[in-house]
Structure 1
Amino acid sequence: MRSRMRFDDVAWEASETISDSWVAGLFQPDTLRSIGDFMIKHRSGVPTELCQPRAGTFNVSFRMKFDDGGSALIRFPKPGTTMFPEEKVRNEVATMRYIQAHTSIPVPFILHWGTREESPLGLGPFILMEFIEHAMDLGEALNTPTLGVEDRPILDPAVDVEKLEMLYGQLADIVLQLSQCSLPRIGSLVQVDDFTWEPGHRPLSIGMNELVRLGTLPRSKLPTSAFETASEYFQALANLHGEHLHHQRNDAVDSADDCRRRFVARRLFSRVASEGRLASSRNDHGPFKLWCDDLRPSNILLNEHLQIVGVIDWEFTYAAPVQFAHAPPWWLLLEQPEYWPDGLEAWERAFEYRLQTFLKVLVEREETALRRGRLTPEQRLSGPMRHSWENGDFWVAYAARKSFAFDVVFWKKLDPRFFGSCAIAVQDRWKERLGLLSEEETRCMEQIWSIVRLFG
């Protein structure tokens, strides 16, 4: 049984082709000169060097050094991998300015930003910001030393406990501060004036980007506005899982039974969502919490003393249901559960062990914040995080956000929770649940298989 849904390889190749071609064009002398001139125009000082561009998954960055010892960084979304570039940049600018105004989390200072039309040579929407000097990122500091650059990162199993507590403690402070940012709706931030932000747009998530890029989901199927309640948002996410199965054109399923198993999982998850059983009734109408899909160690910058000096890449940040903020950070192990080499249960055992360390230092940070008057007892995060892990809410939030990882989480964690224990093997459990479908749902299941098999 293949639990994790694969990316559409045809879509992935097309995405990479567009992205690689665009990046290659950046190395033309005239292009580099235009980018450099643009940066100099918006950052005072005498320039000394334009460094080679650096490409991540979603962006390409250029760094310009100045004789005052500082640097500026201009960042463009990559065509082919970023499906909503203008929206992404607009959201990130509003988020970074909100975080600067409401927390002490170190984020880059924005010098200038604009649309594609305002960019050098029309390269795309951009953010020009001060570069944060750093020695390494947190992912490098925690990764297993024997792993290579091409390997997926995994927390060093032999990491020194004091070092881990020191780094986890700084992470705990960041997560704690974000959890104190309360907002009235679910959505991406809009800056209304110098002192006011509100969730005025749909919550643009990394999952939405990837569903369009690698799941061939039509853009018309995505949410178009902010949400007033958590239950509405969970229902929207459940609907996206179903639409994903319906619309991915390649590599979605292995067989008729594989398609049926995935359909049953999505239909049952949607049913639970429609019954309001995924959202917390206490917080259904808010307040909602600021949540960053891409907050992880590789986006956290350290100096040579292993102190956090910057947190970057806030583009997929939005006000989200409180369950998201109350779930312990999956990235404590660096690797996602669906990619763990020995399977979900092995990830869970390793995670629980490290979670105790994280919760220990989180409590310590809470106590310090309480003494300094920066936190009230009701704002403690350690209790809700422990509860989320112990009662399984962690897996509800994870499955709701992760369409490609949904199946493995649903059958191993959510099916027993919502539909009772079952002695049947996980790969065959869907057959036991077929009786829960209506005749119309069963017909829809077979129709989807007839569509999916046409595209292989």
Structure 2
Amino acid sequence: MAKQDGLEWVDYFRGSLSDMPSTTLPATRRKRNIYFHADFDLRQLLLLAKRLRHQPCTCNDSQTPKAGALNWAIFLEFDDGVEWVLRAPCSSYAATQGVTGCLLEAATLKYIREHTSIPVAEVFHYSPTYENDIEIPYILMSKAAGHPLANYDWRTHTLEPSRPNGSVTPARVLTEEEKKKIMRQLGCYACQLFGLRFPTIGSLFEGDDGYYIDECLSPGHVLQDRETIEGIPRGPFHNEADYYSSLAAALHLHAEQLPMGHHVLRAPVPVPQEYPNFAKY
């Protein structure tokens, strides 16, 4: 008769295990920090950087990659102190964007650098697929000038508690003059970006004949498997109404065909002040 609560099975397996010869389980291989997001060929990366700049290059493989919602990055250093950045998409984002993600991001960085004075990073090399010596999609670029705003405390009120910055040392609170300087810089950058106009709305690519606008690959059109949905107009669009209607269609079809996550509302919202009257809005 079986013992209550399955204790007979416990005794059986206890005896069976005790009779087995002792074995040592293989140790789980723990990835070093630099490979946290993806496995790639670091040696080939350093060879590429050396070939492009004609100087030896090193990389601290114990560094923790910087990461955001869509991309991660590590830093390379040359003998003369110059730093470059390897920027790669997170695996889920890379799978969603396919071969196009790095293409449009590299093209956008290069176009802004060529047509404005905004201090964006310089793109030295990129590959949109896994079919390369480094074995991941990537952009190899310069390290942008300046300091990350996240390293400082932008406190709006004197009694407002300081925000954590991931460091043991509390972040320095920005002065009013420093805040004004930052806002002036942002205003200058926004003004220059506003002057970059194209005949249609879509994503920017670089081809043999220069830059061109093709289908829109905004997050609202492609993330969370929306690139698999048929029937979403993807442009290029000739007016704002068609663009916003496309985003609305993407959300509607997502709700019908795909799981709904907390990031489902990935779309810009029109601002009433940008339209001459409410009917246009």
Q: Same fold (TM over 0.5)?
A: yes
- After TM superposition, give the deviation of residue 226 of structure 1 in Å: 1.0
- After TM superposition, give the deviation of residue 70 of structure 1 in Å: 0.6
1:113 aligns with 2:114: no
**Kept after mapping to 1: 8 A contact 2:229/2:253:** no
Note the alpha carbon deviations across 1:245-293, whole angstroms, 9 max, x for none. 22343568xxxxxxxxxxxxx9xxxxxxxxxxxxxxxxxxxxxxxxxx9
Q: Say if 1:170 and 1:127 are closer, same or farther in 2 by CA, change over 3 A.
A: same
- After TM superposition, give the deviation of residue 183 of structure 1 in Å: 0.7
- Separation of aligned partners in 1, 2:35 and 2:231: 29
Q: Which residue of 1 aligns with 2:55?
A: 45
Q: Which residue of 1 aligns with 2:90?
A: 78
Q: Which residue of 2 aligns with 1:235?
A: 245
- After TM superposition, give the deviation of residue 105 of structure 1 in Å: 0.5
Alignment gaps of 5+ in structure 1:
1-21, 151-155, 253-265, 267-292, 295-319, 328-384, 397-456
- After TM superposition, give the deviation of residue 66 of structure 1 in Å: 0.5
1:33 aligns with 2:50: no
1:188 aligns with 2:200: no
Q: Which residue of 2 aligns with 1:141?
A: 152
**Kept after mapping to 1: 8 A contact 2:88/2:138:** yes
- After TM superposition, give the deviation of residue 118 of structure 1 in Å: 4.6
- After TM superposition, give the deviation of residue 23 of structure 1 in Å: 4.8
1:163 aligns with 2:178: yes
Q: What is the root-mean-square deviation of aligned Cα atoms in Å?
A: 3.8
1:98 aligns with 2:111: yes
- After TM superposition, give the deviation of residue 391 of structure 1 in Å: 7.5
Q: Say if 1:25 and 1:241 are closer, same or farther in 2 by CA, change over 3 A.
A: closer
- After TM superposition, give the deviation of residue 25 of structure 1 in Å: 7.0
1:62 aligns with 2:74: yes
Alignment gaps of 5+ in structure 2:
1-33, 156-160, 167-171
TM-score (norm 1): 0.44
- Paired letter, 1:102: H
- Paired letter, 2:127: G
Query: Greater relative contact order: 1 or 2 (C-alpha under 8 angstroms, separation 6 or more)?
Result: 1
- After TM superposition, give the deviation of residue 168 of structure 1 in Å: 0.6
Moved over 4 A (4+): 389-393
- After TM superposition, give the deviation of residue 106 of structure 1 in Å: 0.8
- Separation of aligned partners in 2, 1:392 and 1:66: 56
Q: Say if 1:118 and 1:218 are closer, same or farther in 2 by CA, change over 3 A.
A: closer
**Kept after mapping to 2: 8 A contact 1:185/1:229:** yes
- Paired letter, 2:235: S
**Kept after mapping to 1: 8 A contact 2:73/2:86:** yes
Q: Which residue of 2 aligns with 1:210?
A: 223
User: Identity of counterpart residues, as a percentage?
Assistant: 24
Aligned length: 232
TM-score (norm 2): 0.68
Note the alpha carbon deviations across 1:126-183, whole angstroms, 9 max, x for none. 211122354x312443544622247xxxxx9x96433322211110000010001111
Greater C-alpha Rg: 2
